[in-house]
Amino acid sequence: MKTGKVFLIGAGPGDVKLITLKGLECIKKADVIVYDRLANPRLLAHKMPKAQLIYVGKSPDRHTLTQDEINKVIVKEALEGKIVARLKGGDPFVFGRGGEEAEVLLESGIPFEIIPGITSAISVPAYAGIPVTHRDFTSTLTIITGNEDPTKEDTNINWDKLGQDPGTLIFLMGVGNLPKIVEQLVKNGKTKNTPVALIRWGTRPEQQVVTGTLNNIVEEVTRAGLESPAIIIVGDVVKLRNKLKWFENKPFFGKRILVTRSREQASDLSEKIEDLGGEAWEYPTIVIEEPLDFAPLDRAISNATEYDWIIFTSVNGVKAFFNRMAKLKIDIRKLGNVRFCAIGPKTKEAIEEKGLLVEYVPEVFRAEAIVDGLKNTLQSGQKILLPRADLARPVLLDSLQELNLQVDEAIAYRTVNNTEDSKELLEKIINKEINVITFTSSSTVKNFIELLEGNNAEELLKGITVACIGPITAETAQEMGLKVNITAEKYTIDGLISALLNYFKN
């Protein structure tokens, strides 16, 4: 059997975008992903559908697997001919025991590559506004393990040198040993007024920073209830935090926001959330799929020259319509005499990307407004085509038919329930790790409620903000027992973001 290969990948400090491009490429092609608790689980969304996940997370008080057991898992999977992504928080060679794993792989004759990661030693302070070096304060940086007991006799740490070191000292994984670390530094020459900062879960929404001096930092950390994982920074550069902190000043800092729209559309909303300092947790409650029967859509496309108007009520409808047109090898120029209406600016943009002009977009982006705006333009007997979703509301079709128009409705796509494992999402909701849930359509609401698996939605979502893109979606949410906190006045993604900003500002 052909031997596989192992990639020892640094996953970075926590912010999912702080992984390297090469690291992400390796995750995407791995047959097996072996990951620990410091690697952001959102990275696992990039895996191949059939990739196996093996959790080997360790914490100071609990080991899922020992290091020897982890080594055996990696070797076993690789010897079975699999590509293994060993995903480790930070950098694999900075207190990540990557060197030990590489040695074991070498002894077993297994090819491997090291994919460096951004270590928490420099990135976490950066997110807290603390530069680890600064020409006005220090030009040196020392990274020390915080796991070693500072009082043991056979220590590998030169405390006498650290006590005299004028540079920045960074201790990784040392919260439990903080009192002893402080004691050793003061004992060996550090002044008690030396600035200190501890940063927990740096670069994530849970980021927590406690500052003080060697004289009071133990009491400050106890008062704040700060626990591991956290890093300790000792040195004058800590004084710059109040001036340079930027991450915590973003309007969505500390907010983990659930994005429930389909994966094809989620990125726009997610990017805007993360630009504003939040963490977008994508769990599409709906999946966009092809119609079960293409015949009505194919017939409509083939007879496109017969229509006076084509009305699109979603970007998905536009994409599905023109993808099918290309599949049927029908020239887009057949639509030359057709007039187009779009329900909103994004839908208009998708149509005009095809080189077609949109003649009407309602000021209010809902089906009723389309009829109100066009009723004086449409003429009795004209033919209208509605390419749209299988679960679209009937109000537009009914209203157009009341105007004595010939209306053909063609299912361009279906919205179906997402069947992905929702266990992790439910745990986050139960543990109140989700701060906001966004809904961008009635179908996202309905499928989300089904996802709750019989739990009391009102009780489960208590304390979680519910935001809807418009009144129709909000009405559906309320009918299904949800308390809606935010309804966007402008029924677009930008409108939803604006509503969230106003809500948190006030």
Q: Cβ contacts of residue 380 below 8 Å, gap of 6+?
A: 403, 404, 405
Is 1 designated active site?
no
In 3-state terms, what secondary structure has residue 213? strand
- Tokens found for residue 317: 């409808």
Catalytic residue among 36, 91, 165, 408: 36
Is 58 designated active site?
yes
- Tokens found for residue 448: 């989300």
Q: How many Cβ atoms sit within 10 Å of the Cβ of residue 341?
A: 24
| Nearest partner of 453 among 473, 437, 429, judged by Cα | 429
User: Cα(50)–Cα(82) distance, rounded to whole angstroms?
Assistant: 12
User: Cα(11)–Cα(39) distance, rounded to whole angstroms?
Assistant: 6
- Tokens found for residue 12: 């970075």
User: Cα(191)–Cα(187) distance, rounded to whole angstroms?
Assistant: 9
The residue with tokens 């690789």 is 78
Q: What angle do CA 363, 368, 371 make, to 5 degrees?
A: 85
CB 445 within 8 A of CB 473: yes
In 3-state terms, what secondary structure has residue 292? coil
Is 36 designated active site?
yes
Burial 180-193 (b: 16+ CB within 10 A, else e): bbbbbbeeeebeee
Q: Cβ contacts of residue 78 below 8 Å, gap of 6+?
A: 3, 4, 5, 6, 84, 105, 108, 110
Q: How many Cβ atoms sit within 10 Å of the Cβ of residue 350?
A: 20
Q: Which residues are catalytic?
A: 36, 58, 173
